[in-house]
């Protein structure tokens, strides 16, 4: 069996692209499934950290006008962003800024190769791969969250951002919504224009929300306006003990989401339903957690919020908001929000005592 940490280190030290494909083929053949997922996720994480180091290095030079010596400069990252990559510390201390630029190219190739390789595997393999990947991502997002909340950064400071780093997973989920033409643009939808990555919650938001919600076994999770289903798929893989339902009024998106759910055998506990949530006759089902991206017109918000408020009077629930959806939650029905990512992600809890 090949161990990915030493292989990754070797690849970075050799620093060249010529034999990379051959090396990756051998690694992919002899590595364990668990190590393959960690290799993939750590390579993507490493690329984001290196980009952050390059940006910070450039800023320091710009601000001070003094040449910044790389081996000294990089030390501050060892106990922070580079902490999960202890096995690469000696590589960083012996490298230089040109090495960082080459590493970005090498890591981009690794990401491309592995994503094609994983897509060629069976659904069961992909499922296990995604589950291990999401667990590793959860720890990395948590580290990013801790680092960014600990030090107050100034506007314009270089900042590690994993927000879109792992979007390549969409290719494994076959959520190729950037290419997906929805025939009819529904005028009632606020955020349709430019649909694609911009209108899906990132994996970072979803995984962090799930981590901090810490829902009890058997809890129900409802996504109001579920789009292409990223949230449900992540919930289904990470928490097979939860019941997830996503409501979405664009039928094509519901079909894409249900297809992915069935592909990974999640369809016993992850369902996507075609439903216009602004229909006053629709009853939002009881759940322990509801998720709302800022998806609705004012008219739809009025209908949906009234129903959630009614639910909040009888049950202990948490509404998770992304973006400006939080503006609709600042009223007497809901607690003050628990905030993450500078308020981009919020948890609002019902004020009412649960009925026993």
**Which residues contact ligand SAM by CB under 6 A?**
188-189, 191, 199-201, 223, 225-227, 230-231, 247-250, 253, 276-278, 293, 295-296, 300, 322
Q: Could you give the CA distance from residue 328 to residue 308 in angstroms, rounded to a whole number?
A: 11
Q: Could you give the CA distance from residue 224 to residue 247 in angstroms, rounded to a whole number?
A: 5
Count the neighbouring beta carbons within 10 Å of the beta carbon of residue 90.
11
From the list 106, 44, 41, 46, the residue with the least C-alpha distance to 81 is 46
Minimum distance between the CB of residue 163 and ligand SAM, rounded to whole angstroms? 13
261, 270 Cβ separation under 8 angstroms: yes
Minimum distance between the CB of residue 123 and ligand SAM, rounded to whole angstroms? 22
Give whichever of 155 and 184 is closer to ligand SAM, judged by the CB atom. 184
Give whichever of 180 and 265 is closer to ligand SAM, judged by the CB atom. 180
Count the neighbouring beta carbons within 10 Å of the beta carbon of residue 266.
21
Give whichever of 82 and 169 is closer to ligand SAM, judged by the CB atom. 169
Give whichever of 44 and 257 is closer to ligand SAM, judged by the CB atom. 257
Minimum distance between the CB of residue 200 and ligand SAM, rounded to whole angstroms? 4
Minimum distance between the CB of residue 192 and ligand SAM, rounded to whole angstroms? 7
Give whichever of 39 and 272 is closer to ligand SAM, judged by the CB atom. 272
Give whichever of 109 and 294 is closer to ligand SAM, judged by the CB atom. 294
Chain residue at closest Cβ approach to ligand SAM: 225
Minimum distance between the CB of residue 224 and ligand SAM, rounded to whole angstroms? 7
Minimum distance between the CB of residue 311 and ligand SAM, rounded to whole angstroms? 17
Minimum distance between the CB of residue 318 and ligand SAM, rounded to whole angstroms? 16
Give whichever of 166 and 293 is closer to ligand SAM, judged by the CB atom. 293
């Amino acid at each position: 069996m090949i161990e990915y940490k030493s292989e990754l280190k070797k690849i970075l030290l050799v620093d060249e692209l010529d034999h990379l494909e051959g090396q990756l083929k051998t690694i992919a053949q002899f590595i364990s499934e668990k190590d393959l997922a960690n290799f993939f996720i750590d390579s993507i994480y490493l690329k984001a950290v290196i980009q952050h180091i390059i940006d910070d290095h450039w800023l320091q030079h710009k601000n001070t006008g003094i040449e910044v010596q790389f081996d000294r400069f990089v030390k501050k990252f060892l106990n922070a962003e580079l902490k999960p990559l202890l096995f690469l510390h000696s590589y960083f201390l012996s490298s230089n800024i040109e090495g960082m630029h080459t590493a970005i190219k090498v890591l981009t190739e690794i990401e491309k190769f592995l994503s094609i390789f994983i897509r060629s595997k069976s659904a069961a393999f992909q499922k296990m791969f995604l589950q291990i990947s999401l667990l590793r991502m959860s720890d990395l997002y948590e580290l990013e969250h801790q680092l960014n909340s600990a030090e107050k950064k100034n506007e314009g400071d270089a900042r590690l951002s994993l927000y879109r780093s792992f979007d390549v997973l969409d290719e494994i989920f076959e959520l190729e919504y950037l290419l997906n033409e929805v025939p009819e643009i529904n005028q009632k939808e606020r955020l349709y224009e430019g649909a694609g990555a911009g209108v899906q919650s990132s994996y970072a938001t979803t995984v962090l929300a799930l981590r901090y919600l810490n829902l009890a076994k058997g809890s129900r999770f409802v996504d109001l306006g579920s789009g292409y289903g990223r949230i449900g798929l992540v919930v289904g893989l990470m928490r097979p003990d939860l019941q997830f339902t996503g409501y979405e009024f664009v039928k094509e998106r519901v079909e894409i989401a249900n297809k992915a759910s069935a592909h990974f055998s999640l369809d016993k506990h992850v369902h996507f339903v075609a439903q216009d949530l602004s229909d006053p006759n629709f009853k939002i089902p009881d759940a322990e957690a509801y998720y709302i991206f800022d998806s609705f017109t004012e008219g739809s918000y009025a209908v949906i919020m009234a129903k959630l408020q009614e639910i909040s009077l009888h049950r202990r629930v948490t509404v998770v908001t992304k973006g400006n959806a939080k503006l609709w939650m600042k009223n007497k029905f809901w607690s003050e929000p628990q905030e993450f990512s500078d308020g981009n992600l919020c948890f609002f809890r019902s004020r009412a005592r649960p009925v026993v």
